[in-house]
Structure 1
């Protein structure tokens, strides 16, 4: 670190929200001096970030652009540990995610405002910010979308056979089932009768990440990007936040659901028992900090595909002929499989009465208390991939020890608002890279016999078998038997993180475990938290849109 300097604003974390805050402040007032400190590497003009298909590259164990957190062993998961990835580079998740374009249900954001007390955070109040950030290239004239923002939204550079087949099956499988689709005024981004929406430019075929559209897109002499450095803590003068690199006006903690609570705890903000264990003097008592970790609990179900169809398997496994072919098309035209994320379709579902009966009485109370009166809230997301992931993914996404080569696809699903919560806390007062005391909490509130995951698996199998490209189940990657107990055991052994981490610095009242309302921190001045850690409850969507709106929203 260079000798201590003074900046107007210091942002701890250069991820999705942090880069948006930095870029917009720099553009709004060129006289401001802004320091962004990011633990990961830069991403400028790196094809591994610009090419949408390359997200699996960042999930390699040796990756420097993603950090992997291991949760404690869980009885609910048969005694296994789980690995939870999160972006760690300039741009954070926006630079390494699957580039899926979805939005939360309006009822999700309304819950933030009405239930958790965050004035200004309702769906109607957040929608203008979502519109301002995007250029929606799929359909003109929709009131819920924007057409002049920096981030491009298209259907990507290719339309796979798997994606089309999935949607064809969805249309015919059960015509009585209600599906959530976009209508004028809706927050849900999936287009009617389609699901092909990706954070990809139709013109260039490049990923619509944050740094190339808010930071790298223009000269910002008033922004200092300091990559490769961890933030240890915020230093307080009284209750005002300053740092070794001093902030005259504002410190913004934007290190994500895993990083932000740790920065606060090392700074003396948090619950006393946690701070005492590592020898940090308490500055502000926040008993709920780090105690409400949330994620989507995802299942990827792999199937063998017909050899003649297009999938991303060859591209992501390094096949030279495939890469040479598709790289050339991408470079010359911005199209092809390189300009694609392998995810062409998906639907958000609410259960029918038949489904509720199949799921069983254990879910009925949750349905009646949380979903029944909110018709905009989907229960499950269900889709495809031309590689192995969920929606359908047009490639193999899963345990590589089971990968047999060839062409594959996945049917994927996750529950939108899981009840189970985890927790995470620091284990060192001085080392930001020390492993966290982390427990994911997956399926803790899903007692044996609750069959919502069973229904998801069986529905995925029925869809897959009806798709013309289906050539069987991937051997060793499915339940050993067809009965409910075997399916449940398989779910508990297979479920993984959707990389949608949130909630550890929740914007809630202090008495309900909150860190503060909106982006403020109880008991402090000049300190804000701006990232996915602030979500007080889950959202029925991939989290990129929500991270954007958190960074884009005017601070109050």
Structure 2
């Protein structure tokens, strides 16, 4: 593998982006055809053997304002979010999200993929075809013979290196608190259909070594001995190059000055003889298309770009999940990652020593121990109100495998250290799995790749997206207050209920609250809670949909072979192709997109054995 470009060389395949799906695609193709000449161009840095990316307990190291491996895209202000602009994160490094995510192992529902095939006409993209590819990528260590999980793939899944007392108490409380749902420590919440079972939660962590299971360490770095792979990090792909009949012939890139401060500003052109793949993610891929003259004519002309192909869906249909994290104070004996997250040298040294010697402990953990995929019971539908009832009937009622929320407990605070007093915490985390909102992502400059995007997210503009998060706050608060480790609510990050309200915040407690009955919320309390949700909800970094795989007349950008409409020799391979939301973290779906793309590309190039 080379890290130096040969500008006079011709490559069989150029891949613009080095994220999750791209890494799987390249790794699979080279394993089957080592002579294939591939150039991978990634905007961010390498992650090879860096603690922040191989030690699970260090995952929060990437989520800082000056991060070198995560790029934050600022959205337009939104009245539905209390006038806020959101900084929406996405991975920008070799491995993309696989190298910086929360390591949560969450699989989508079968119906999510079946919709891709049946509703959007994407042959071969239903659950029956994709489940074998999901299994191909992984080794599921909790149950090696599980029917919907893999047993010999390169990426390992386990419960991590420690089962904290925070996670245990969460499950203990749910057994006594929520009699309508099952609590089962060893249930499989990721068999693509199980709903409403509280259980331990697996993670993308190798249970033997305690290392993060990411894409570059398993698909790209093992290609070191192959001279036909060239990986350039710290480069921005400006656009795709076409010949006279709209066939791609290469790409143009510039050095990212953040990682190559002394490099020239020259635009470099590289040639591809067989195929160009855009794999720059939900935010990056539509931008490369638009700078190449492919997209909505008005967007292109405003940016000073001559339209090559009118494709109205480019940059449209942005989707994410709406994330709510509520912190609680924990007792001193709580087993949490707060010390590691605060970069406390003693905590890091102690956890790292255990991790290096045994692969266990808090450094082999990612704070998540337990959770469940929530689908409302009949008795709860009335609580969600008439607006959600319509959403239920239109979308959920006939799809019993679709959850409304993912809910779990994290053994740490996710707040920046400056916002939380020194101490121990646990966090009740929730996200809505199929929000109604749709947004858009467009460029604002013809050449400058680093110019801020025109990002509209539209979160919470429909009340049917707000009320599930209100339910989640109330439900998880009842669990938190009953946990023996509970020591109070961090008031600045809870609703400001009236001092006369029975729902008022309890800032300090000597232990769990004596709460035989649920808190009764008044109409005024609910008004306060709605305002709190709008002021606190953020993005999950599960963006998708901006280059959707669906018919062109429906706003599609690529077909079921991942070909961009209106040109030839150009594909998109990343989460931007997802035509509908998936009720889960997106890592596993990005992996299956990479696996499917490898098969498609191999067939077209005449390669066998993928």
TM above 0.5: yes
Instruction: Kindly name which structure, 1 or 2, has the bigger radius of gyration based on alpha carbons.
Output: 2
Residue 512 of structure 2: aligned partner: none
Cα shift at 1:179 = 8.5
1:199 pairs with 2:204: yes
RMSD between superposed Cα atoms in Å: 1.9
Measure, in 1, the Cα distance between the counterparts of 2:382 and 2:169. Answer: 28
Residue 326 of structure 2: aligned partner: 301
Residue 392 of structure 1: aligned partner: none
* Residues 11 and 18 in structure 1, CA contact (< 8 A), matched pair in contact too: yes
1:253 pairs with 2:278: yes
| Pick aligned residue for 1:383 from 377, 391, 408 | 408
User: Within 5 A, what are the aligned runs for 1:116-135?
Assistant: 116-135=120-139
1:1-34 alpha-carbon deviations (Å, 9 max, x no partner): 6534310000000010111111111111111100
User: Within 5 A, what are the aligned runs for 1:301-380?
Assistant: 301-380=326-405
Number of corresponding residues: 547
Measure, in 2, the Cα distance between the counterparts of 1:373 and 1:189. Answer: 15
Cα shift at 1:469 = 0.7
| Pick aligned residue for 1:140 from 140, 144, 151 | 144
* Residues 143 and 185 in structure 1, CA contact (< 8 A), matched pair in contact too: no
Structure 1: runs of 5 or more not aligned: 387-394
Residue 418 of structure 1: aligned partner: 435
* Residues 106 and 190 in structure 2, CA contact (< 8 A), matched pair in contact too: no
Taking a change above 3 Å as real, the CA distance of residues 126 and 236 of structure 1, as seen in their structure-2 partners, is same
Instruction: Please identify, of 183-192 and 231-240, the stretch whose mean Cα deviation from structure 2 is larger.
Output: 183-192
SS in 1 for 2:594: helix
* Residues 34 and 223 in structure 1, CA contact (< 8 A), matched pair in contact too: yes
| Pick aligned residue for 2:532 from 490, 507, 520 | 490
User: Within 5 A, what are the aligned runs for 1:123-522?
Assistant: 123-177=127-181, 186-188=191-193, 194-218=199-223, 219-237=225-243, 238-243=245-250, 244-386=269-411, 395-398=412-415, 400-446=417-463, 451-481=467-497, 482=503, 483-518=525-560, 519-522=562-565
Residue 22 of structure 1: aligned partner: 26
SS in 1 for 2:237: coil
Structure 2: runs of 5 or more not aligned: 251-268, 498-502, 504-524, 602-610
1:261-308 alpha-carbon deviations (Å, 9 max, x no partner): 000000011000000001111111111211110000000000000111
1:352-409 alpha-carbon deviations (Å, 9 max, x no partner): 12221111000011101111101011111111000xxxxxxxx111354430111001
SS in 2 for 1:194: strand
Instruction: Please identify, of 324-333 and 181-190, the stretch whose mean Cα deviation from structure 2 is larger.
Output: 181-190
Measure, in 2, the Cα distance between the counterparts of 1:79 and 1:325. Answer: 43
1:555 pairs with 2:597: no
1:405-433 alpha-carbon deviations (Å, 9 max, x no partner): 11001001111100001111000110111
Taking a change above 3 Å as real, the CA distance of residues 91 and 3 of structure 1, as seen in their structure-2 partners, is same
Taking a change above 3 Å as real, the CA distance of residues 185 and 538 of structure 1, as seen in their structure-2 partners, is closer
Cα shift at 1:78 = 1.5
Cα shift at 1:329 = 0.4
Cα shift at 1:196 = 2.4
* Residues 179 and 347 in structure 1, CA contact (< 8 A), matched pair in contact too: no
Measure, in 1, the Cα distance between the counterparts of 2:333 and 2:12. Answer: 58
Measure, in 2, the Cα distance between the counterparts of 1:74 and 1:531. Answer: 27
* Residues 109 and 122 in structure 1, CA contact (< 8 A), matched pair in contact too: yes
* Residues 548 and 555 in structure 2, CA contact (< 8 A), matched pair in contact too: yes
SS in 2 for 1:17: helix
User: Within 5 A, what are the aligned runs for 1:38-49?
Assistant: 38-49=42-53
* Residues 183 and 198 in structure 2, CA contact (< 8 A), matched pair in contact too: no
SS in 2 for 1:487: helix
Cα shift at 1:188 = 4.9
TM-score normalised by length of structure 1: 0.95
